[in-house]
C-alpha cells in the first residue's frame, strides 16, 4: 500500500515545527530565573525595574521613612545584599557605609563611575589631624547625581550594562526598555532646559544642599541653606537669610518636602514663596520617578513666571 | 598438572608458618615501591590541585615561588606588597576578574588573610556554623584554626602586634568571630579570614576614634558651607574593637587604590583573555609580575619528587638483596627436603615431576603474594588522600 502525504499536511507540520522551536526559544528567554537586584536608592531601583521589567526582582532595603543617603545597613541588610546577584550603587560618595561592610566586589555596580570627573566637590570639608598622618580632610562629594537628567540617563545605562552582564540572554529586551527610559529622561531634561532658559539667572534658594547637579545642568542661580522642612530655623538662621536676601533677592525657596505652615508664613512675610522639588531618593508613596520629576518641574514653573 | 598443584598446595599448607613468612616477604617487596609511588602521586595531585584551580597570580616582581606560596598556601615568607591599583588594573582590562588577597599578619601562628567575599565563592568555601563576614571587624575561621583556637561564632579573637616595641605599627584589633568554615582539606582550613578593609584597619590605614572637642561652628553665614575645624591630639582615644556603636566612627585615609595587598588572583574569562593578560606583564620595566601557579608548583614538585627516583634505586637494591636471600632460603630448604624429594623419586616420580612440584609451589607463593600486594595497594589507595594530608600537605 502506498502512503501519500498531502502538501497541506507537510506545510502544517513545518509550521508546527517552527512554532515549537520559536516557543522553546522564547521559553528559554523568559524562563531565566529572576535577577535579584538590590538598589541603594529609589532612582536606581526605578531604572532597574523599568529596564528589567518582570524579569528582575528589585529590593530597596532602605525603610520608607529614611533618607537612603544617610541610611546605614545592619548585618541583616548586608546579608540581603550578599544574597543578591547585583548591588546597584549610586557612587559619588553616596554609600558612605560601603567601606564598613563586606560585599562581593563582582556584584557591585557603581552607576556614576562614567562621569566621575564631573562630580561636584563640597568645599570647606572638615579637616583634622591625629597620629603620624598629619592634617587630612574628609572631603565630600555632592551625591544627588540623578537630578541632572543627562547624568540620570548615564546611570540608567550603567544599570542596564550591569544587568546585561548578569543576564546576557535578555540583552535585546533590556536595551529596548533602556531606550524607552532614556526617551523619558531626555524629555524631562528638555523640559527642565526650556524652563530654566525661559528666565535665566533668576535667584533661587534651596532649603538643603542637594540641588547642586540640578543647578549646574540647568544653570540655576541657586544658593542653599541647611534647613529641615519639619524644623523651625533658629533666629540666627533667619537673620542670616535676611542678610543674604539683600544680595541674592530670591523670591522662591526650593524644598525637598512641604515645610511647616509656620515656616511658610515666615518666608511669605519675607517675600519668599515655597515650592517642593522632591529628589525622590526613596520610593514615593504614589507615582514613580518620572511622575515625581514631572510634578517637580511643574512646581518649578512658578519660579520662572 | 592439577595433581602437582594439589601436592604443592598441601605442602604449603602443612608448612604454613614458613609459607606465611615467604608470602609476607614477597608481597612487601612488591608493595613498597608501588605504595611509595601512589603516595607521591597523591601528594603531587593534592599540591597541584590548588595551583591548578588558581589560573594566574599578579604580585610584586621577584621570586615567583615566594609569590605563589604566599598567595596559595599563606606561606609566612615576607612577600613584597603591591597596591590595590594593580587589582583595579586587572579588572579594567576586561579580560579577567581580580581577587585581591592580603597575607601579612598572623594570629597565634595562623595566617590572618584579608580577602573579598568573592574569594570564598572562588574556593567554594562554605560556612559550617554562624554567618559569613558582614561588617568591619569580623572574621571567619578555617576549620583547623577554629579547632586550634576553640572558638565559636560570637567569640572574640584579638590580633597580636608584630612587634611589641613598634608602638606605631600594626593596630591591635579585637576581631569578632562571625562564622566557622566547613573543612576543605586545603590551606584555607588553617587560616583566619577577614575582609580586606579590616586588614587595612589592622595595617593602620583605617581607624575609629572617639569624638574630640566639639567643632566650632558659625551660623553667621547661612549660605556658605558650615566651617568646622577639629584638631585632635595624641591623647585621642582610638578604638581597638569595632562594635555597632563605634562602627560609624571608623574611616580610612588616603587613596584606596594605594592600599596594600600581597597578590591578585586573576580569573581570566577565557584562554584568549588569559593570553592577552599575560602579554600585559611581559617586560622588565614592570614592577609587578604575572605567574602561572601551576607551572611554578610543578617546577617545585619536580625538584622535590626527584627524591622518588632515589627511593626507587634504594628499593631496587634492597629488593634484589631480598630476592637473593629468598632464593638462598629456597635453595637451602630444597637441601633440607633432600630426603623427602628422594622418597618421591623412589615412589616412581621422574625428576621432571619433582621439578614441576617445586615450580608449582613457587607459582602458588607468587600468586598469594600478588593477591596480598593488590589488597594492600587497594587499601592504601583508599586512605592515600588522608595519609598525604596528614603527613605532606598542611
Q: How does pLDDT run across A84-109, given as a tens digit for each residue?
A: 999 999 999 999 999 999 999 999 99
Cβ–Cβ < 8 Å for A259, A233: no
Could you tell me whether strands B56-60 and A273-276 are parallel, antiparallel, or unpaired per DSSP bridges? unpaired
A136 burial (CB, 10 Å; 0-12 / 13-18 / 19+) is middle
Using alpha carbons, select from A210, A222, A191 the residue that is nearest to residue A278.
A210
Phi and psi at residue B383, to the nearest 5°:
-105, 10
C-alpha cell at B278: 599575560
Do B129 and B147 belong to one domain? yes
How many distinct structural domains can be found in chain B? 2
> What is the Cα Rg of chain B in Å?
33
Find out whether A276 and A167 touch, Cβ atoms under 8 Å.
Answer: no
Residues B147 and B246 both lie in one domain: yes
| Whether residues B175 and B108 fall in one domain | yes
Tell me which residue in A82, A136, A244 faces B253 most closely, judged by beta carbons: A136
Whole-number Å distance between alpha carbons of B38 and B372: 16
Rounded to the nearest 10 degrees, how much is the dihedral formed by the CA atoms of B131, B135, B141, B146? -80
- Residue of B116, B225, B231 lying closest to A123 (CB–CB): B225
Rounded to two decimals, the pTM is 0.77
Assembly ipTM? 0.76
Beta-bridge partners for B98 = B266
**Cβ pair B227:A124 closer than 8 A:** yes
Of the ranges A182-196, A229-243, B233-247, which one carries the lowest mean pLDDT score? B233-247
By residue count, chain B amounts to 394
Residue B302 lies in a domain: no
Which residues are CB-neighbours of A240 under 8 A, at least 6 positions away? A225, B219, B220, B221, B222, B223
Report yes or no: A134 at the B interface, CB cutoff 8 Å: no
Asked if the structure places residue B379 within a domain, the reply is yes
Q: Which residues pair with A273 in a beta bridge?
A: A252
Residues of A in contact with B153 (CB under 8 A): none
| Residue to test with chain A: of B113, B114, B134, most A Cβ within 10 A | B134
B368 and B386 part of one domain: yes
Residue B291 and residue B65 in contact, taking contact as beta carbons nearer than 8 Å: no
β-strand A121-122 against A140-141: which pairing, if any? antiparallel
The reply to whether B221 touches chain A by the CB within 8 Å rule is yes
B176 inside domain: yes
Of the pLDDT bands very low, low, confident and very high (cuts 50, 70, 90), residue A27 is very low
Residues 1-60 of A with CB under 8 A from B: none
Question: Chain B: nearest CA to A55, how far in angstroms?
Answer: 25
Q: State the DSSP string of B279-299.
A: HHT-STT-SEEEE-HHHHHHH
pLDDT, mean of residues A167-176? 95
Q: Do B133 and B216 sit in the same domain of this protein?
A: yes
Structural domain contains residue B301: no
A100 touches chain B (CB under 8 A): yes
B279/B313 same-domain check? no
- Quick one: pLDDT at residue A264? 94
Distance from CA of A253 to the nearest CA of B (A): 13
Let me know whether B201 and B312 are in one domain.
no
Task: Give yes or no for a contact between A203 and A244, defined as CB atoms under 8 angstroms apart.
Answer: no
Domain boundary among B265, B291, B317: B291
Chain A residues in contact with B131 (beta carbon < 8 A): 75, 79
A128–B222 C-beta distance less than 8 A: no
Fold (CATH) for A198-304: Rossmann fold (3.40.50)
CATH superfamily of the A33-188 domain: Nitrogenase molybdenum iron protein domain (3.40.50.1980)
If asked whether residues B152 and B230 sit together in one domain, one would say yes
Per-residue pLDDT tens over the stretch A280-299: 999 999 999 999 999 999 99
Q: Do A237 and B250 touch (CB under 8 A)?
A: no
Specify the pLDDT at position A12.
56
Q: Judge whether B57 and B277 are in contact, CB under 8 Å.
A: no
Residue linked to cell 581577587: B99
- Give which of B222, B248, B257, B265 to mutate to test A binding, by max A Cβ within 10 Å: B222
Read off φ and ψ for residue A113, nearest 5 degrees: -65, -25
Domain termination residue (choose one: B291, B324, B344): B291
A176: enclosing H helix or E strand: helix A171-198
Residues 6+ apart with CB under 8 A from B156: B174, B175, B176, B177, B241
Q: How many helices (H) and strands (E) does chain B have?
A: 12, 14
Asked if B31 and B61 sit in the same domain, the reply is no
Q: Are residues B21 and B149 in the same domain?
A: no
- Per-residue pLDDT in tens (0 to 9) along chain B, 394 residues: 678 889 889 988 988 898 998 899 888 888 888 888 888 888 888 888 899 999 999 999 989 999 999 999 998 666 689 999 999 999 999 999 999 999 988 898 899 999 999 999 999 999 999 999 999 999 999 999 999 999 999 999 998 766 555 555 566 789 999 999 999 989 999 999 999 999 999 888 888 876 655 444 444 444 444 444 444 455 556 677 888 888 888 888 888 899 999 999 999 999 999 999 999 888 767 789 999 999 999 888 887 777 777 877 888 888 888 888 888 888 888 888 888 888 888 888 888 888 888 889 889 999 999 999 999 999 988 888 888 877 665 5
CA distance B249 to chain A (A): 10
Q: Which three cell numbers stand for residue A139?
A: 572631603
Domain with CATH 3.40.50.1980 in chain A: 33-188, 198-304
Q: What pLDDT, on a 0 to 100 scale, did the predictor assign at position B133?
A: 95
Q: Touching check for B220 and chain A: CB below 8 Å?
A: yes
**Closest alpha carbon within chain B to A222:** B223
- Nearest by Cα to B93 from B284, B272, B343, B292: B272
Helices B293-304 and B16-52 pack at an angle, to 10 degrees, of 150
The conformation of residue A5, written as its DSSP 8-state character, comes to: -
Q: Which 3 state secondary structure label does DSSP give B203?
A: helix
| Interface-testing mutation among B223, B238, B258, B267, with chain A (most A C-beta atoms within 10 A) | B223
Asked if A221 and B221 count as a contact pair (C-beta separation under 8 A), the reply is no
Same domain, B69 and B163: yes
Indicate the residue of A72, A133, A226 with minimum beta-carbon distance to B226. A226
Boundary-marking domain end, from B262, B291, B320 = B291
Question: What's the mean pLDDT in A198-209?
Answer: 91
Grid cell of A301 as nine digits: 514653573
CA distance A227 to A208: 6
DSSP letter string over A181-203? HHHHHHHHHHHHHHHHHHSTT-E
Average pLDDT over residues A74-80: 92
Domain range spanning residue B139? 56-291
Angle (CA) A287-A288-A289 rounded to 5° is 140
Residues of A in contact with B209 (CB under 8 A): 130
Q: Do residues B68 and B194 both lie within one domain? A: yes
Q: Does A80 touch chain B (CB under 8 A)?
A: no
Amino acid at each position: 500500500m502506498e502512503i501519500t502525504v498531502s502538501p497541506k499536511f507537510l506545510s502544517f507540520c513545518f509550521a508546527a515545527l517552527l512554532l515549537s522551536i520559536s516557543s522553546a526559544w522564547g521559553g528559554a528567554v523568559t524562563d531565566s530565573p529572576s535577577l535579584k537586584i538590590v538598589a541603594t536608592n529609589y532612582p536606581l531601583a526605578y531604572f532597574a525595574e523599568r529596564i528589567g521589567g518582570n524579569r528582575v526582582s528589585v529590593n530597596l532595603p532602605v525603610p520608607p521613612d529614611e533618607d537612603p543617603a544617610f541610611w546605614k545597613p545592619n548585618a541583616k541588610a548586608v546579608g540581603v545584599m550578599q544574597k543578591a546577584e547585583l548591588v546597584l550603587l549610586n557612587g559619588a560618595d553616596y554609600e558612605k557605609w560601603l567601606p564598613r561592610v563586606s560585599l562581593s566586589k563582582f556584584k557591585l555596580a557603581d552607576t556614576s563611575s562614567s562621569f566621575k570627573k564631573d562630580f561636584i566637590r563640597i568645599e570647606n570639608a572638615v579637616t583634622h589631624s591625629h597620629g603620624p598622618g598629619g592634617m587630612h580632610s574628609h572631603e565630600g562629594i555632592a551625591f544627588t547625581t540623578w537630578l541632572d537628567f543627562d547624568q540620570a540617563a548615564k546611570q540608567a545605562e550603567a544599570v542596564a550594562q550591569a544587568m546585561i552582564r548578569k543576564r546576557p540572554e535578555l540583552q535585546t529586551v533590556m536595551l529596548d526598555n533602556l531606550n524607552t527610559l532614556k526617551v523619558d529622561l531626555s524629555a524631562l531634561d528638555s523640559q527642565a532646559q526650556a524652563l530654566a532658559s525661559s528666565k535665566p539667572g533668576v535667584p533661587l534658594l534651596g532649603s538643603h544642599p542637594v540641588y547642586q547637579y540640578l543647578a549646574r545642568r540647568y544653570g540655576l542661580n541657586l544658593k542653599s541653606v541647611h534647613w529641615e522642612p519639619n524644623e523651625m530655623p533658629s533666629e540666627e538662621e533667619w537673620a542670616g537669610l535676611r542678610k543674604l536676601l539683600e544680595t541674592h533677592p530670591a523670591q522662591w525657596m526650593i524644598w525637598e518636602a512641604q515645610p511647616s505652615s509656620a515656616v511658610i508664613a515666615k518666608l511669605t512675610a519675607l517675600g519668599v514663596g515655597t515650592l517642593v522639588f522632591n529628589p525622590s531618593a526613596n520610593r514615593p508613596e504614589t507615582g514613580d520617578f518620572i511622575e515625581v520629576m514631572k510634578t517637580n518641574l511643574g512646581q518649578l514653573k512658578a519660579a520662572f513666571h | 598438572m592439577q595433581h602437582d598443584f594439589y601436592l604443592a598446595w598441601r605442602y604449603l599448607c602443612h608448612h604454613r608458618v614458613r609459607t606465611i613468612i615467604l608470602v609476607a616477604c614477597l608481597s612487601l617487596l612488591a608493595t613498597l615501591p608501588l605504595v611509595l609511588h601512589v603516595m607521591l602521586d597523591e601528594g603531587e595531585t593534592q599540591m597541584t590541585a590548588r595551583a591548578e584551580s588558581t589560573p594566574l597570580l599578579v604580585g610584586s616582581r621577584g621570586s615567583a615561588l615566594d609569590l605563589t606560596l604566599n598567595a596559595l598556601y599563606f606561606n609566612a615568607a615576607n612577600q613584597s606588597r603591591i597596591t590595590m591599583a594593580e587589582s583595579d588594573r586587572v579588572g579594567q582590562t576586561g579580560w579577567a576578574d581580580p581577587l585581591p588577597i592580603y597575607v601579612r599578619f598572623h594570629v597565634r601562628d595562623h595566617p590572618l588573610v584579608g580577602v573579598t567575599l568573592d574569594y570564598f565563592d572562588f574556593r567554594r568555601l562554605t560556612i559550617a556554623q554562624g554567618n559569613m563576614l558582614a561588617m568591619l571587624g569580623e572574621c571567619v575561621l578555617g576549620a583547623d584554626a577554629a579547632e586550634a583556637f576553640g572558638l565559636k561564632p560570637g567569640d572574640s579573637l584579638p590580633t597580636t602586634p608584630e612587634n611589641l616595641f613598634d608602638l606605631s605599627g600594626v593596630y591591635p584589633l579585637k576581631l569578632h568571630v562571625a562564622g566557622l568554615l566547613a573543612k576543605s582539606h586545603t590551606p584555607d582550613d588553617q587560616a583566619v579570614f577577614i575582609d580586606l578593609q579590616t586588614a587595612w584597619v589592622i595595617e593602620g590605614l583605617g581607624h575609629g576614634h572617639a569624638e574630640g572637642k566639639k567643632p566650632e561652628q558659625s551660623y553667621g553665614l547661612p549660605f556658605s558651607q558650615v566651617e568646622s575645624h577639629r584638631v585632635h591630639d595624641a591623647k585621642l582615644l582610638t578604638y581597638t574593637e569595632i562594635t555597632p556603636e563605634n562602627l560609624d566612627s571608623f574611616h580610612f585615609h588616603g587613596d584606596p587604590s594605594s592600599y596594600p595587598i600581597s597578590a591578585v588572583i586573576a580569573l581570566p574569562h577565557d584562554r584568549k583573555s588569559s593570553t592577552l593578560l599575560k602579554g600585559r606583564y611581559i617586560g622588565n620595566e614592570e614592577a609587578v609580575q604575572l605567574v602561572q601557579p601551576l607551572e611554578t608548583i610543578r617546577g617545585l614538585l619536580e625538584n622535590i619528587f626527584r627524591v622518588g627516583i632515589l627511593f626507587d634505586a634504594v628499593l631496587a637494591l634492597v629488593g634484589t638483596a631480598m630476592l637473593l636471600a629468598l632464593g638462598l632460603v629456597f635453595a637451602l630448604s630444597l637441601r633440607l627436603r633432600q630426603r623427602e624429594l628422594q622418597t618421591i623419586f623412589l615412589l616412581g616420580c621422574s625428576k621432571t615431576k619433582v621439578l614441576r612440584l617445586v615450580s608449582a609451589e613457587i607459582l602458588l607463593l607468587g600468586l598469594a603474594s600478588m593477591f596480598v600486594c593488590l589488597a594492600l595497594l587497594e587499601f592504601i589507595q583508599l586512605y592515600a588522600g588522608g595519609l598525604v594530608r596528614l603527613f605532606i600537605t598542611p
